[in-house]
Amino acid sequence: MGDDDNSQPASRQTAQTVIGVDVGMNNLIVAVPHTLHANAANVLEIEGTVEYELINEFVEALDDHDNSDSDLAIQYEDLMVAHIDLAVDQLLDYTRMYPQPIIAVEDFGHSMPPGLNECVANGSDLSDWVIPKVIERIETGCNDAGIEVERVDHRLSSKTCGWCGNIGVRARSGVFHCNAPDCEITAVDGDRNAAKTIARRGAVERGLWME
């Protein structure tokens, strides 16, 4: 399929539904089915406010502990994982609304997310811990719930239109713009588009999206 093809979900979409999940810091989880139409309301959005606040608290607490308190890192890591697991539970409930659901997440090549201490020691952005940790918890939750989960290519997911496959533009405002003349969308929330792109890629791999 060329980038300018306005492809559509295949007729076999009724057998399985791929749920694309975009993970980030502002919106911790955004999930949509591969069958989502433009302007449809059946989207799951979970803000990352709690995780963001906990990370800020953790950084401030580290400053008071000379950046060397491993027990502090464990304490905050446990708190954040507990909040992440609540978000994953919401995702699983949302997923169960669809027939034979399959959750698709981005493959960043992480076999195991780093610990908070490791991120601090390496001078990494703490989002480097949050995003792979959320994906890990999603995979664990899916395995426990008997829901299939797969990883898909992460490249250009924020710049690729989830409806037609063209490369568009994600503005600083967070809005994604598609300029393809035959596409059903022109502007859409960027996280929602990324989730749709992830779902679309998972559906293509399974022959659920017509090329």
| pLDDT reported for residue 50 | 77
pTM of the full structure: 0.86
Q: Which parts of the chain have pLDDT scores under 70?
A: 1-14, 65-69, 110-113, 210-211
Distances (CA, A) of 182 to 6, 159, 169, 175, 196: 7, 17, 16, 19, 18
How many Å apart are CA 166 and CA 48, to the nearest integer? 29
Taking the C-alpha atoms of residue 37 and residue 203, their distance in angstroms, rounded to an integer, is 15
pLDDT score, position 37: 86
Q: Where are the domains of the chain?
A: 12-156
Per-residue pLDDT tens over the stretch 68-117: 567 788 888 888 899 999 999 999 999 999 989 999 999 988 666 677 77
What is the C-alpha to C-alpha distance for residues 56 and 33, in angstroms, rounded to an integer?
Answer: 33
Residue type, 193: N
Number of residues assigned to the chain? 211
Q: What was the pLDDT predicted at 113? A: 66
Of 199, 196, 195, 200, the closest CA to residue 211 belongs to: 200
What are the CA-CA distances from residue 93 to residues 20, 31, 33, 66, 201 (Å)? 14, 12, 14, 42, 22
Per the CB < 8 A criterion, the answer to whether 57 and 80 are in contact is no
Taking domain 12-156, whether its CATH number is 1.10.3470 is answered by no
Q: What is the dihedral of CA 152, 155, 158, 161, to 10 degrees?
A: -80
